[in-house]
Structure 1
Amino acid sequence: MSDNRPILFFDSGVGGLSVLAPTRLLLPNAPIVYAADNGGFPYGTKSEAEIAARVPALLGRLVERYHPRLVVIACNTASTIALGAVRAALDLPVVGTVPAIKPAAAQSSARAIGVLGTNATVRQPYVDDLSARFAADCLVLRHGSARLVELAEARLRGEATDPADYATVMAGLLDQPGGDRIDTIVLACTHFPLVEAELAAASPRPLSFVHGGDGIARRIAFLTEGQQWPANPAPGIALFTAPFDVPPGLTAGLRDYGLDEIHFL
């Protein structure tokens, strides 16, 4: 029998689309609900206590509404702070998103990597632990940027963005002591792969960028292996936690990711 239960993706905004895209390649018939917490956006400037309280409560409501087979917290900030609480609260598989420090360290020939994330993510002890476990022999520099999240949101809406903004973000990382050694940068916010090309263009030298989207997609495929998928899945749903007038550019951007319906919580 066909199983119409969706995969539920959750992020503060549209960044989780960088995880949805590789998942669709592996599971093209999977029904999708993509939830963007625009009512709480942005997460990167909020306190740990605010995120720890908000994310499990919201996901509980979303699970009751859509009855997913699996939840993906497609947000580094929410995952590094609230993943444990969400897993404890929900009786279904929950996949988190954590900074891709391990693969970045594995490929860095200079043994110097940068971590670009939100302010909330880059200060987390979780990042300290990943660095100690997988990059102990590397210089690991971090930079938090709320502006880059806004740029990624604008980029998805089809709006023009200023190359100087990307150059400023890159300078915040590369101009730190030792930043001239960096050869690999972890995009530790799911928004940031959406503007990877712009970051590369703003870089003063060729750099490698690493993020976890493909690995998360493989994990989702593994956890749902052997499950049934509908032959003709329903249109993908983009859900927002607060009502607003959806601009045409955003509607078009969401459709590019197979999200043809827009709902509000």
Structure 2
Amino acid sequence: MTVAPDAPILFFDSGVGGLSILAPARAALPNAPVVYAADSAGFPYGTKSEAEIAARVPALLGRLVERYRPRLAVIACNTASTIALPHVRAALDIPVVGTVPAIKPAALLSKSRVFGVLGTNATVRQPYVDRLAAEHGADCTVLRHGSAALVQLAEAKLRGETLDPAIARDALAGLLDQPGGDRMDMVVLACTHFPLVEQELAAAAPHPMGFVHGGEGIARRIAFLTDGQPWPDAPSPGIAVFTRVDDKVDALRGALAGYGLDRIDAL
């Protein structure tokens, strides 16, 4: 298949979390045209049912692919990936990259053999997480906690709002207060929103711990899948597209520009 140099990479998330995937991808492929799509009308995903997400995500991605003709799509959302990835791949005729909780690197890095998986409520209950934990962390105690409030904290941070430190503290307490939690030395940030508030989480931790997420690995995967394809000679302004454009989206303009997203579209 011939790919036009200006065919973009499409990143998709429920909100701004996927920016934690976009940043390392842009560092790896600085001239890649980018469309970043946020389902602001459906946000947040972590509190929705599996059936809702499995129906909504492929339909939205179908419309986005039709409009922007990307060379590749990235579901930059752990919840959508763990639930809807097979449905999306069946619906689209371009490569689709999903976001996997970074359980393998956490298991490799943990000295205490106790690590946490911090995600949305929908992600942490998925059988997919059970399989990853069994495969890569069989000798570890794997603690899990879902935090919807931490997703909102990341969105608020990018809008420039004052943040409540109790939110990060409570999210970590959901792991630390479980049996063995006092020995936890690594935390998997299993929601793409959470690397955006890693600083707040580290500040709330009662002892030093490491945080891992999948951004760098996704960037390497995108580079591999697009290897040899033509790109424009220089970086181009990126497009951010929202399913609902409102005051909250307007408040994100400065943060989006910092990620090279200078134009806002409505879907």
Q: TM-score range by the shorter chain?
A: over 0.9
TM-score (ref. length: structure 2): 0.97
Shift of 1:187: 0.1
The answer for the alignment partner of 1:36 in structure 2 is 38
In structure 2, list runs of 5 or more residues that go unmatched.
none
Deviations 1:116-163 (A, max 9, x none): 000000000000000011111100000000000000000011111011
Partner amino acid, structure 2, of 1:36 = A
TM-score (ref. length: structure 1): 0.98
The answer for the alignment partner of 2:10 in structure 1 is 8
Distance 1:140 1:247 in 2: 36
Distance 2:108 2:210 in 1: 12
Distance 1:69 1:51 in 2: 23
Q: Is the 8 A contact 1:2 1:231 kept in 2?
A: no
SS, match of residue 60 in structure 1: helix
* 1:128–1:247 distance in 2 versus 1, CA, 3 Å: closer
Identical counterparts, % of pairs:
74
The answer for the alignment partner of 1:21 in structure 2 is 23
Distance 1:243 1:259 in 2: 15
The answer for the alignment partner of 1:261 in structure 2 is 263
Q: Say if 2:212 is the partner of 1:213.
A: no
Q: Is the 8 A contact 2:117 2:144 kept in 1?
A: yes
The answer for the alignment partner of 1:242 in structure 2 is 244
Partner amino acid, structure 2, of 1:91 = D
**Range that drifts further, 230-239 or 10-19:** 230-239
Partner amino acid, structure 2, of 1:259 = L
Shift of 1:234: 3.3
Q: Is the 8 A contact 2:30 2:235 kept in 1?
A: no
The answer for the alignment partner of 2:112 in structure 1 is 110
Q: Is the 8 A contact 1:56 1:89 kept in 2?
A: yes
Distance 1:115 1:132 in 2: 13
SS, match of residue 59 in structure 1: helix
Shift of 1:51: 0.2
Q: Say if 2:161 is the partner of 1:159.
A: yes
Q: Is the 8 A contact 1:2 1:230 kept in 2?
A: no
The answer for the alignment partner of 1:77 in structure 2 is 79
SS, match of residue 167 in structure 1: helix
* 1:39–1:30 distance in 2 versus 1, CA, 3 Å: same
* Matched pairs, number: 265
Distance 2:185 2:234 in 1: 44
Q: How does 1:170-249 map to 2 (within 5 A)?
A: 170-245=172-247, 249=251
Partner amino acid, structure 2, of 1:88 = A
Q: Is the 8 A contact 2:150 2:168 kept in 1?
A: yes
Shift of 1:84: 0.6
Shift of 1:191: 0.1
Shift of 1:245: 3.1
SS, match of residue 247 in structure 2: coil
* 1:203–1:235 distance in 2 versus 1, CA, 3 Å: same
The answer for the alignment partner of 2:135 in structure 1 is 133
Distance 1:85 1:112 in 2: 33
Q: Is the 8 A contact 1:110 1:181 kept in 2?
A: yes
